[in-house]
Structure 1
Amino acid sequence: MALSTSAAAIITSLLLLVLLRGGSSEGEGNLPQSDIDLLEFPLNLEYLEAEFFAWGALGRGLDSLAPNLAMGGPSPIGVKKARLSPVIRDIIAQFAFQEFGHLRAIKSAVKGFPRPLLNLSATSFASVMNDAFEKPLVPSFDPYANDINYLLASYVIPYVGLTGYVGANPKLQTPSSRKLVGGLLGVESGQDAVLRTLLYERGKVRVSPYRYTVAEFTNKISNLRNKLGKEGLKDEGLIVQPVEGAEGKIAGNVLVGDQYSLSFARTPQEILRIVYATAQENTPGGFYPQGADGQIAKSHLRTQSNKRFN
């Protein structure tokens, strides 16, 4: 039996509605702006990790291995291949390709932005260590010199992104955004756990030619990140006072957590203060000499720019 004109029109409208909903179920067009901003922001750290790990293990970065992911952004400063043992090189190479995947995953959800200028030189990492110890280390710390130095330099990075994902998750409005961040958080947490375990195994080893042990380095780095973040204790090294350990009963701290052994959360502002190494979210420096990218980071840079001209 033939359909009436009105019935056919209703069916056609319903089919169009289904198609439109199906076509917009993924991607930026279906996300609120706040989700887009929160998903884009971590690209800054994912770029840094991708370049540091790829160069450290493979002697090449995005420009060689996945140039489309860099989106034409400037090549990083000073990064190079590290002198690593076969096992550590293999682990770091795995991390590198995981970071490539993270870049692809985020950019499948939001437009993203080109790789920002990154300063991954030995001088940049040496500055972090000098700040951590509140004095110049002599000779200057070289992150690319050997396994222990590279692992300590790596300790500086993934945990910061991990706390950022923990902080972002409850602010996201859509299930697809929370699913993406949950997946990213799982692997970033795994990377941090592997790094901490490798360092914990070497915790009592002296970092040559300095008089400090690996555990002392991690404690100093964590204290520095707390200081720069300016929001209290959200970071702990590998050895703590037993009262500060899990259940207040143990000094070993291979995984860091709060009083309930839950991961700490950081805001984008806290993260910028740390990775800029300036304790100010509107003052670039450290690993990002020209500042981070994305709406959130740019909003703080604009604030600083406005202050200069007012």
Structure 2
Amino acid sequence: MALSISTTSTTALITILLLLSGGSSTMASNESINIPKFDIDQLEFALNLEYLEAEFFSWGAFGVGLDSLAPNLTMGGPPPIGVMKANLSSFVRDIIAQFAFQEFGHLRAIKSRVKGFPRPQMDLSAVAFATVMNNAFEMHLVPPFDPYANDINYLLASYVIPYVGLTGYVGTIPKLQSPTSERLVAGLLGVESGQDAVIRTLLFQRALSKVTPYSFTVAEFTSKISKLRNDLGKRGLKDEGVIVPLVQGAEGRIAGNVLVGDQNSLSFDRTPEEILRIVYGSGEENKPGLFYPKGADGRIARSYL
């Protein structure tokens, strides 16, 4: 039976969240953990996508974001452009609400270990996501894709985001120098992987359904988005849709692809450079755009600008 979030329960959740986040303004200053500079740079880079996910999921579920629910986490950074509440069923809204609160926790966890930086300028408008879809299909979809219109559109827009961060964490863990950092990133990876699996499962359930009003199926959308990310990343195949040619499926024996992985079903990895190429939409780590019109923040991202 579908779960639902009533107005009362939503208000209660928001109240609890505000109480929990209210005393964390001295986050990193209260920590005495000695983390190597290399690890600090990696952890701070991750904040870019965590900010993006926190805002996208929070606005999608509640119609408000960090400024209303956990303002201390923004560190004074500008609010996202164009983001709005999505037209979701009660079941999907409940899932996205869970994702939002999880992302708040991720931001808090990272900032408890490193200083961090203010929320960067992000563009989460319908235009930004329409651009992704137009680029994926190499044509202008008519009407323009609207990520906030319904469950399917929002899930497809969500498909664009967490997986990129997931591959980044897979690539980061082997390079970290501190067990504290490794434990943190492993914890982040676990939940990000879960979010991606939920999104992919919900889309796989509808894989052969047409995405109204277009002639393309859900599976075709996921395949096109994945191909676009592979092309932008410029490091070969690290991304696959929810239905793949048999040879690409697990053990080369199945076309369903709820969880994406290599020939041994191990998660793909990406470097910060690959991630920037994808989230900038430019294919270049030194050319900001798309979701980060002014560029991502942190020493790693800034070093390319």
TM-score (norm 2): 0.90
Which residue of structure 2 aligns with residue 206 of structure 1? 210
* Residue 143, structure 1, aligned to residue 147, structure 2: yes
Alpha-carbon displacement from aligned partner over 1:9-45 (angstroms, at most 9, x marks no partner): xxxxxxxxxxxxxxx9x94761111000001101000
Which residue of structure 1 aligns with residue 76 of structure 2? 72
CA-CA distance at 1:227 after TM superposition: 0.2
Structure 1 distance, partners of 2:201, 2:80, is: 28
Structure 2 distance, partners of 1:233, 1:284, is: 23
Structure 2 distance, partners of 1:154, 1:108, is: 27
Structure 2 distance, partners of 1:109, 1:190, is: 23
Q: How does 1:1-150 map to 2 (within 5 A)?
A: 27=31, 30-150=34-154
CA contact (8 A) 2:33 2:113 kept: no
Structure 2 distance, partners of 1:200, 1:223, is: 17
Q: How does 1:170-249 map to 2 (within 5 A)?
A: 170-249=174-253
Q: Secondary structure at the match of 1:60?
A: coil
Structure 1 distance, partners of 2:40, 2:32, is: 7
CA contact (8 A) 1:28 1:36 kept: no
* Residue 270, structure 1, aligned to residue 274, structure 2: yes
Which residue of structure 1 aligns with residue 304 of structure 2? 300
CA contact (8 A) 1:81 1:144 kept: yes
Structure 2 distance, partners of 1:57, 1:210, is: 25
Alpha-carbon displacement from aligned partner over 1:219-276 (angstroms, at most 9, x marks no partner): 0000000000000000000111111100011100000000000000000000000000
Structure 2 distance, partners of 1:103, 1:62, is: 11
Alpha-carbon displacement from aligned partner over 1:30-84 (angstroms, at most 9, x marks no partner): 1111000001101000000000000000000000000000000001000000000
Cα RMSD of the aligned pairs, angstroms, is 1.1
Structure 1 distance, partners of 2:31, 2:126, is: 38
Instruction: Give the letter aligned to residue 75 of structure 2.
Output: M
CA contact (8 A) 2:57 2:100 kept: yes
Which residue of structure 1 aligns with residue 8 of structure 2? none
Q: Secondary structure at the match of 1:109?
A: coil
TM-score (norm 1): 0.88
CA-CA distance at 1:198 after TM superposition: 0.3
CA contact (8 A) 2:50 2:107 kept: yes
Which residue of structure 2 aligns with residue 254 of structure 1? 258
CA-CA distance at 1:191 after TM superposition: 0.1
CA-CA distance at 1:161 after TM superposition: 0.2
Alignment length (residue pairs): 277
1:154 pairs with one of 152, 158, 179: 158
Structure 1 distance, partners of 2:119, 2:86, is: 22
Instruction: Give the letter aligned to residue 132 of structure 1.
Output: A
Instruction: Give the letter aligned to residue 40 of structure 2.
Output: I
